[in-house]
Amino acid sequence: MTVRTIGIIGGGQLGRMLAIAAARLNFRTIILEPQADCPAAQVANGQIVAAYDDPAALAELAGRADVVTYEFENVPVSAAEALQRSVPVHPPAKALDVAQDRLTEKRFLNGCGIETARFHAVDSQADLEKALVDFGGKGVLKTRRMGYDGKGQRVFRSPGESPAGAYDALGGVPLILESFVPFEREVSIIAARSADGTVLCYDPAENVHRNGILHTSTLPARISDATAKTARESAGKLLAALGYVGVIGMEFFVMADGKLIANEIAPRVHNSGHWTEAACVVSQFEQHIRAVAGLVLGSSYRHSDCVMTNLIGDDILQVPAWLAKKDVLVHLYGKTESRPGRKMGHVTELKGPKTSSQG
């Protein structure tokens, strides 16, 4: 099948960057997004303004696109399944189903032989209290679905902290309690898989979060070669188990002995991989387009050390200063309104030639 037009569900900054990468490879893009003035529509060839699960809109998207992908993991699984009946969808609906529920995700990772934090399903206040006893009164309580950037969470830091009302405070929805992990740092790996099963991984990035939102990603990460190898192997196992095509982001906690504990996955291009557009010849965005369009994957080699910094909220005011620096790539997302916690863009500062794969 010859791919000429790629459909993208979601019109945020990730969809925008995918559309830019697609245009460089001579593909047309059509966006399905209910917000008419979304960032992706500014650079795409067309937009269907409708809800992600609107049957008529999905039928139109399937008719206008040769292949469909998505920029965020909360696309309705039913929408992806409906599209799959008439047009290829990459990554598959199965990846959405696994990633949208933290309990399903943890169980799936464990089934792939990938270690996670201990966890308990929490469907009532009684479940929560019982789970906290098992974890010594400590843990991170999260909504199983729809939480992101630190939202939908409650942290229990000491055995004496009362859990009273915590279940209802998070909406009385299905929750998961995860045990604390005494990690030294957080890393993530961006990996890609083509339809023929070829897997390529970028170097792991070391991540720092502020208020639950990614602040910086630094390359090389301060991990051993053995730890980096484990991250790559874990990504390969996951991609194979999902029958995945495209780019995925996988986050880990790094323990003192170098062991990795998987935190979460994102079946899409990932914020912690934005550095690839400055420090690699083939970015994660181009890699994803190559994969879903059936092209050969590009090199994942990193030529430079770097630090990617998110511009969040009023950080956008720092753009003139960033533009004045040498060896800095500035990427803004086309958003007209700055709000606290809103990602407005990112910058990647090159720190010189690559010194090592990990550090």
Q: In which band, very low, low, confident or very high, does the pLDDT at 150 lie, cut at 50, 70 and 90?
A: low
Residue-level pLDDT at 89: 98
102 in any annotated domain: no
Q: Contact at 8 Å (CB) between 201 and 191?
A: yes
Residue-level pLDDT at 151: 65
Q: Do 325 and 198 fall into the same domain?
A: yes
| Interval 277-286 mean pLDDT | 98
Q: Do 343 and 241 fall into the same domain?
A: yes
| Interval 182-196 mean pLDDT | 97
Q: pLDDT tens digit string along 64-105?
A: 999 999 999 999 999 999 999 999 999 999 999 999 999 999
CATH, residue 201 = 3.30.470.20
Q: pLDDT tens digit string along 21-65?
A: 999 999 999 999 999 989 999 999 999 999 999 999 999 999 999
| Interval 218-227 mean pLDDT | 98
Q: Do 332 and 216 fall into the same domain?
A: yes
Rg of the chain over CA atoms, in angstroms?
Answer: 20
Q: Phi/psi of residue 275, each to 5°? A: -60, -20
Cβ contacts of 90 within 8 Å, gap of 6 or more: 67, 68, 69, 245, 246, 291, 292
Q: Do 171 and 127 fall into the same domain?
A: yes
128 in any annotated domain: yes
Q: Do 322 and 201 fall into the same domain?
A: yes
107 in any annotated domain: no
DSSP H helices in the chain? 13-24, 55-64, 77-84, 93-99, 102-111, 125-134, 166-169, 225-242, 276-279, 284-293, 319-323
108 in any annotated domain: no
Q: Do 192 and 161 fall into the same domain?
A: no
Q: In which band, very low, low, confident or very high, does the pLDDT at 359 lie, cut at 50, 70 and 90?
A: very low
Q: Contact at 8 Å (CB) between 205 and 275?
A: yes
Buried b (16+ CB within 10 A) or exposed e, 291-301: bbbbbebbebe
Q: Do 169 and 83 fall into the same domain?
A: no
Q: pLDDT tens digit string along 286-298?
A: 999 999 999 999 9
C-alpha span between 69 and 14 (Å, rounded)? 11
Q: Do 30 and 151 fall into the same domain?
A: no
C-alpha span between 80 and 77 (Å, rounded)? 5
Q: Contact at 8 Å (CB) between 333 and 16?
A: yes
> Which of the listed residues 159, 178, 197 is the one where a domain comes to its end?
178
345 in any annotated domain: yes
- Is residue 356 scored above 90 in pLDDT? no
C-alpha span between 269 and 288 (Å, rounded)? 7
**Residue 262 in 3-state DSSP?**
strand
Residue-level pLDDT at 146: 75
Closest by CA position to 118, among listed 103, 101, 130: 103
Q: In which band, very low, low, confident or very high, does the pLDDT at 1 lie, cut at 50, 70 and 90?
A: confident
Residue-level pLDDT at 99: 96
Sign of the CA dihedral 275, 278, 281, 282? positive
C-alpha span between 70 and 264 (Å, rounded)? 18
| Interval 132-152 mean pLDDT | 84
Q: Do 230 and 272 fall into the same domain?
A: yes
Residue-level pLDDT at 212: 86
Mean pLDDT for all residues in the chain: 95
CATH, residue 75 = 3.40.50.20
Q: Do 142 and 238 fall into the same domain?
A: no
Q: Do 31 and 152 fall into the same domain?
A: no
Cβ contacts of 180 within 8 Å, gap of 6 or more: 117, 135, 138, 139, 140
**Domain assignment of residue 155, given as a range:** 118-178
CATH, residue 143 = 3.30.1490.20
Q: pLDDT tens digit string along 226-267?
A: 999 999 999 999 999 999 999 999 999 999 999 999 999 999
111 in any annotated domain: no
> Which of the listed residues 72, 89, 106 is the one where a domain comes to its end?
89
Total of domains in the chain: 3
Cβ contacts of 24 within 8 Å, gap of 6 or more: 286
Q: Which DSSP letter does residue 100 get?
A: T
Residue-level pLDDT at 328: 98
101 in any annotated domain: no
**Residue 278 in 3-state DSSP?**
helix
358 in any annotated domain: no
- State the pairing for strand pair 246-254/260-266: antiparallel
**Residue 130 in 3-state DSSP?**
helix
Q: Which DSSP letter does residue 336 get?
A: S
Beta-strand ranges (E) seen in the chain are: 5-9, 28-32, 46-48, 67-70, 119-122, 139-143, 153-156, 175-178, 185-193, 199-201, 205-210, 213-219, 246-254, 260-266, 304-312, 328-332, 343-353
Q: Do 25 and 162 fall into the same domain?
A: no
> Which of the listed residues 152, 178, 204 is the one where a domain comes to its end?
178
